[in-house]
């Protein structure tokens, strides 16, 4: 049944991006053409944005209780990132569509013009994209289940909590800490709040799954495209036994210039819509990891420790995946410059060598993805964020 479902997500018109595009459509990040449907999805996104505001209203109310404040911050900081992702995707809808359309058309072009070496790369990055997409969906779903069942598991695993609730010393165990216009501590308001929180958590998890995996697939494709470009550079002057004319060489080099210019254009466009979100994410993720680590070490209940550990793992894994794939593109951007040197440049005339030299200069332009104006998305940044989170953690412990 699972294989049948995953097979239904494949789209022959989008051989690489099919499952990701399907989820982007379902959650409303790719807005439909119908005006009323567009209004509906935008309204949903803004309702969730208002909910995040109510979380911070509640944070002010509970500001004197450190444990409640940390529990609120751990979730609400991730909520801010989720809202930033959904709203920026809607605001920069045209840019996102251009990037997605580019990788779809460029991927189809490579599939239609592949040889054995290129086919190996195409199959490799396609399989990898599917694996990372489905793995991340499972990770997000696991985190979603963890978050919505945390109050229930705490209730059944702690006798003291149940007794405290009965005698009025413990509050109703809600999924999120947020302001509500109704009495959320007593029935029916408490159960209305539970349903409301569950629906919002499901929405947030789906946004994370759709947005994050789309980012990863785009980054993986850019890396794969650079590998393919390197092979094309290697083959651009033919082989010694079958030397090509100056006219054929100019056409081949001109095509490589065009491929690289388009790649660079959409890579920079992609960074322009990703960078502000990653800046918010890097800041919030540092604080979220810190709050989760503090709760993990201060928790006395084993169930709560396990649930907090899973949430902490999710935050670290999410950050690592962004930095890893971005770092991989930077590495491949450096390696693509070797392509012209691997060609038969030494066996051709001066005119063709000049064309190769110009192409070599263009390929030296780096593909770098940033988190705002302050840092790049690299493995070094990932380590720095973990160090910063640990510093905040030690400060709280003291």
Measured between alpha carbons, how far is 173 from 154 in angstroms, rounded to an integer? 8
Q: Quick check: helix, strand or coil at residue 294? A: helix
* Tally of residues, the chain: 398
> Does residue 347 contact residue 321 with C-beta atoms inside 8 Å?
no
Rounded Cα–Cα distance for residues 9 and 5 (Å): 7
Residues 37 and 42: their CA atoms lie apart, in Å, by: 9
Average pLDDT of adjacent 10-residue blocks, the chain of 398 residues: 81 91 93 91 92 84 73 78 91 94 93 88 94 92 86 76 76 82 85 90 92 94 93 78 73 87 93 91 79 70 69 81 90 88 78 82 84 85 82 67
- Name residue, tokens 């840092």: 375
| Chain center to CA of 50 | 23
Q: Cα–chain-centroid distance for residue 302?
A: 31
Calculated CA dihedral for residues 323, 26, 102, 116, nearest 10 degrees: 80
Q: Beta strands 238-239 and 375-376: pairing type?
A: unpaired
Strands 375-376 and 370-371 turn out to be antiparallel
Residue with tokens 């809808």: 93
Residue 239's DSSP bridge partners are 242
CA atoms within 13 A on the CB side of 253: 24
Domain residues for 347? 2-397
- Give the pLDDT of residue 303: 63
> For residue 103, which of 86, 126, 82, 136 has the smallest C-alpha distance?
126
Whether the link from the prior residue into 377 is cis, omega within 30° of 0, is: no
Percent helix, percent strand, percent coil in the chain, to nearest 5: 80, 5, 20
Distance from C-alpha of 7 to C-alpha of 377, rounded to nearest angstrom: 33
Question: Which pLDDT score, from 0 to 100, does residue 149 have?
Answer: 85
pLDDT given at position 396: 62
How far is the C-alpha of 24 from the C-alpha of 209, rounded, in Å? 9
Q: What pLDDT, on a 0 to 100 scale, did the predictor assign at position 398?
A: 59
Residue-wise burial string across 181-203, b where 16 or more C-beta atoms lie within 10 A, e elsewhere: eeebeeeeebeebbebbeebbeb
What's the domain count of the chain? 1
Q: Which residue has the tokens 């695993």?
A: 157
Terminal Cα distance for the chain, rounded: 52
User: What tokens were used for 223?
Assistant: 């890396």
> Which residue spans within the chain are E strands per DSSP?
238-239, 242-243, 370-371, 375-376
Place of tokens 């060489």: 249
* Phi, psi of 376, deg, nearest 5: -100, 155
- Kindly report the three-state secondary structure assignment for every residue of 65-103: CHHHHHHHHHHHHHHHHHHHHHHHHHHCHHHHHHHHHHH
Which pLDDT score is estimated for 299? 64
CB neighbour list of residue 299: distance below 8 Å, 6 or more residues apart? 305, 308
């Amino acid at each position: 049944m699972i294989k049948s479902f995953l097979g239904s997500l494949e789209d022959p018109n989008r051989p690489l991006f099919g499952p990701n595009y399907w989820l982007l459509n379902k959650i409303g990040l790719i807005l439909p053409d119908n005006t009323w449907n567009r209004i509906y999805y935008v309204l949903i996104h803004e309702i969730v944005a208002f909910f995040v505001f109510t979380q911070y209203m509640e944070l002010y109310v509970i500001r004197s209780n450190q444990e409640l404040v940390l529990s609120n911050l751990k979730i609400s900081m991730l909520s801010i990132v989720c809202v930033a992702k959904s709203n920026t995707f809607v605001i920069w809808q045209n840019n996102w569509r251009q990037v997605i359309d580019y990788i779809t058309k460029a991927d189809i072009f490579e599939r239609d013009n592949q040889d054995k070496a290129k086919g190996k790369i195409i199959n490799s990055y396609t399989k990898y994209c599917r694996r990372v997409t489905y793995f991340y969906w499972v990770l997000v779903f696991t985190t979603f289940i963890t978050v919505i069942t945390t109050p229930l598991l705490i209730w059944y695993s702690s006798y003291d909590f149940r007794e405290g609730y009965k005698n009025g010393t413990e509050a109703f165990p809600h999924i999120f800490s947020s302001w509500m216009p109704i009495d959320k501590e007593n029935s029916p308001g408490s159960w209305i709040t539970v349903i409301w929180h569950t629906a919002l958590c499901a929405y947030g998890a789906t946004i994370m799954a759709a947005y994050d995996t789309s980012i990863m697939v785009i980054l993986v494709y850019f890396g794969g495209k650079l590998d393919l470009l390197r092979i094309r550079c290697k083959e651009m002057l033919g082989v010694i036994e079958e030397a090509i004319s100056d006219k054929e060489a100019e056409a081949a080099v001109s095509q490589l210039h065009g491929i690289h210019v388009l790649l660079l254009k959409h890579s920079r466009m992609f960074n322009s819509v990703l960078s502000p979100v990653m800046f918010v994410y890097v800041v919030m993720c540092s604080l979220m990891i810190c709050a989760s680590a503090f709760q993990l070490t201060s928790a006395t209940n084993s169930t709560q420790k396990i649930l907090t550990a899973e949430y902490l793992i999710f935050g670290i894994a999410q950050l690592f995946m962004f930095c890893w794939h971005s770092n991989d593109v930077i590495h491949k951007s450096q390696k693509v410059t070797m392509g012209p040197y691997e060609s038969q440049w030494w066996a051709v005339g001066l005119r063709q060598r000049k064309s190769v030299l110009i192409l070599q200069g263009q390929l030296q332009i780096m593909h770098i993805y940033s988190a705002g104006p302050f840092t790049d998305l690299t493995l070094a940044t990932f380590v720095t964020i973990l160090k910063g989170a640990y510093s905040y953690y030690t400060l709280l412990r003291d």
